[in-house]
Structures are given as C-alpha cells and as structure tokens.
Amino acid sequence: MEQALVVSTMQLLSQILVNGVLLGGLYALMALGLALVWGVLNIVNLAHGALIMLGAYVGYYLFTLLNIDPFLALPLSMAVLFCVGYLLQRGILNLIARAAMFNTLLITFGIDVVLTQLAQIFFSADFRTINPSYAGSNFMVFGVTLPLVRVLAFVVALALTIALWLFLLHTRLGRAIRATAQNLGAARLYGVEPKAIYALTFGLGAALAGGAGDLYGVVSQINPYIGATLTAKSFAIAIIGGLESPLGVVVGGIFLGVVESLTALYIGPTFVDIASFGILVLVLIFRPNGLLGATT
C-alpha cells in the first residue's frame, strides 16, 4: 500500500517535471526574441508579448480560415511578424534610437497598447485556441504521459533556438549583428549599416515572437490581453538565463516552466504567476546579471 503510494507520488512528480520542461522550451523561444533585441539594440521591448499575441492570431486564422496546420504555418507566422518588426523599427523606433532609455520604454509600451487594442477590435476579446485534429493525442514513455502537441512545440522551439545560435555564430549577417551589439562605432567602420541591422534584428526578434505565438496558440488559450504577462515572463527568463547566449535562455525557460508546474501542483494554480514573478524580482535584486551570468 505504502509502496504504491510512493510509486504514484514519484510518477506524479516526474509527470510534473516533464510538463514543466516541455513548457519551458516554449518559454525559451518566447524569451529569445526579447533577449536578442535587448542585447543588440539595448531596447527592452515591452511590446514583445503583444508580438507573440499577434503571431498566435496569425496561426489561428491560417488554421481556421485556410485550414493550414499550425506547425506548417509556423514559417508564415514568423514571416508576417518579421515584416511587422522590421517596419516598427524602421518606421518608428529608429526615430528615437538616440533618445534616453526611458523614452524607448515608453514608446514600446505605447506600441503594446496599440497592438492590444487593435487586436481587440479586429479579433474580439474571446478566448481562442488552435485546435488541430491531433490536439488530444498522447503517448506514454516510462509511465509518463507526453501530449503530442507539447512535445512537438518543445522540439520546434529548441530547433529554432539552435538555428538562431548557428545563424549568429556562422553567417555574415549574424556576425554583423553581434558586432553591432558589441561596438556600434567599430562595426560602422567595417561597413555595417546600423539602420538596416537594427531593423533586421528587431524583425528577427519579432519573427521569433511570432513563431512562439503560433506554438503558444496550440498548447494554450489566446486572447488580445496575454501580451503583458508574456512580456514579463520573457523578461524573467532572459534575466534568469543571462543575455550572453541562447543556451542560457533555454535553461532560464526550462527553470521557469518547472517552477510554474511545481507551484501549480503543490501550492495552487492561482499562485503560478506569484511564483514566477516573485522569482523574477528576487533574481533582479540578488543577481541582476542572471542566475548564470557573471557576478560583479
């Protein structure tokens, strides 16, 4: 009897851990775009969550109107959001690139409000979810249930993260982006055109948000107001993981995913946000360079 109880507790715990890790992969992808833009442009994009929300709606409408599978729609969603991001940076954010940081916070906050309200007007405030036929399928590994869509989302999120990493390390454009992040003046001397690089980087960040949003719409519910929470979570992950490498962001995402799953089970579902933002504030106060970052 007691042994059975121990076994089921262990099973429950491992199920929760697996759920947390799967969620964490998606969280990492959400945070990746924010971290990229922050690291290169020194903009903390408060509209990042709203871009994720837009990506989710692109996926949703491609699925409901054109019947395109959400995983096939991923590149489309990313392409649409890349354009949105590119135009935002080129048309608006470049105009205040040399203003005080306070102003970039205010303007991205304003963009967040505009995107959210437009979404509410055009898409309505109803909860939506992208619901392909295989949405309910599971498979079992070692007695742990693995929901198919969550595993797929996790794999795609990781693949995109690795792709970004390779892109930044090994392509000409990637090197230009990293050079801009390190030293704008020197990069300029080597022929990097900052206007274009800034817009491309912001577009890339938005594309990652779009991809994350599309996947988020498959595993969770969306409405126009999910943005603010997702911005704060992305920021929490970027802070926990540090800004140095995409791998740190993955660790941060999985950490947050596991903490949220454990909190939901052992303390209560209403405490999930308290736990994740509590961790954010604590990390900010005690290790502002990230849990994995260098200590100063």
Q: Tell me how far apart the alpha carbons of residues 5 and 190 are, in angstroms, rounded to a whole number.
A: 66
35-74 residues near another protein, rule: CB under 8 A: 38, 44, 46
DSSP β-ladder status, 138-141 and 144-147: antiparallel
Measure Cα distances from 283 to 140, 250, 276, 280 in Å: 36, 17, 11, 5
Number of residues that bind another protein (CB under 8 A): 49
Measure Cα distances from 176 to 157, 190, 198, 205 in Å: 24, 9, 10, 15
Q: How far is the CB of 286 from another protein (least distance, A)?
A: 9
Query: Which parts of the chain fold into alpha helices (H)?
Result: 2-41, 48-66, 70-91, 101-123, 148-170, 172-182, 184-189, 194-219, 227-241, 246-266, 272-286
Q: Pick the closer one to another protein by CB: 68 or 228.
A: 228
Contact with another protein (CB under 8 A) among 5, 6, 65, 102:
102
Tell me how many degrees the CA angle 130-81-204 measures, rounded to the nearest 5.
125
Q: x/- string (CB under 8 A) for another protein, residues 152-191?
A: ----------------------------------------
Q: How far is the CB of 177 from another protein (least distance, A)?
A: 16
Name the one range near another protein by CB under 8 A: 2-10, 25-33, 111-119, 150-158: 111-119
Q: x/- string (CB under 8 A) for another protein, residues 220-259?
A: --------xx-xx--xx--x--------------------
Q: Pick the closer one to another protein by CB: 62 or 93.
A: 93
185-204 residues near another protein, rule: CB under 8 A: 194-195, 198
- Is residue 127 a contact residue for another protein (CB under 8 A)? no
First to last CA, the chain: 52
CB atoms within 10 A of CB 181: 19
- Is residue 271 a contact residue for another protein (CB under 8 A)? yes
Q: Are 60 and 119 in contact (CB under 8 A)?
A: no
Q: Which residues are near another protein by CB under 8 A?
A: 38, 44, 46, 92, 94-99, 101-103, 105-107, 109-114, 116-118, 120-121, 194-195, 198, 228-229, 231-232, 235-236, 239, 268, 270-271, 273-274, 277-278, 280-281, 284-285, 288
